Amino acid sequence: MAVVTHEGVVGKVLRATAEYSDVITMLDNLSSIDAIVQRSRARGVIEGATDASCILRYALRTDDIEVDDVIVSSGLDGIYPKGLLLGRVLKVSKKSFGVTQDVEVRPSVDFSKLEEVLVILKPDLHV
């Protein structure tokens, strides 16, 4: 289940009990979120990198991605609904070789001031 705030995506529920839930944030290096660059519709996967940034992996070197582009969830991973704010591009590094480019992303959520979150429950599809 996706965990969000009014600022954007926080992460997902890893496990839950009757009293509490463990959440893996998007900053965790085990986290991955299928993503789209809002302006150019370039696709990739957001993975945690440090305590303050993420990496957009698998973006093609030929994709049009610029600093300050907005990154949103694609909805294709089955956890996060389409269009949730993930962050903004901080840095783009295109090499003259290879298939992909390196894209650093600043999350939209300020994790140092996180107080309340919302858990998005999956709809019951068997009704």
Residue 121: predicted pLDDT: 86
In the chain, domain spans: 2-120
pTM over 0.75: yes
Three-class DSSP labels, the chain: CEEEECCEEEEEEEEECCCCEEEEECCCCCCEEEEEECCCCCEEEEEECCCCCEEEECCECCCCCCCCCEEEECCCCCCCCCCCEEEEEEEEECCCCCCECEEEEEECCCHHHCCCCEEECCCCCCC
Residues 6+ apart with CB under 8 A from 32: 45, 46, 47, 77
Just give the CATH number of 2-120.
2.40.10.350
| pLDDT in 10s for each residue of the chain, 127 residues | 999 999 999 999 999 888 888 999 999 999 999 999 999 999 999 999 988 899 999 999 999 999 999 999 999 988 999 999 999 999 999 888 889 999 999 999 999 999 999 999 876 555 5
pLDDT score for 96 = 84
69-83: pLDDT as tens digits: 999 999 998 899 999
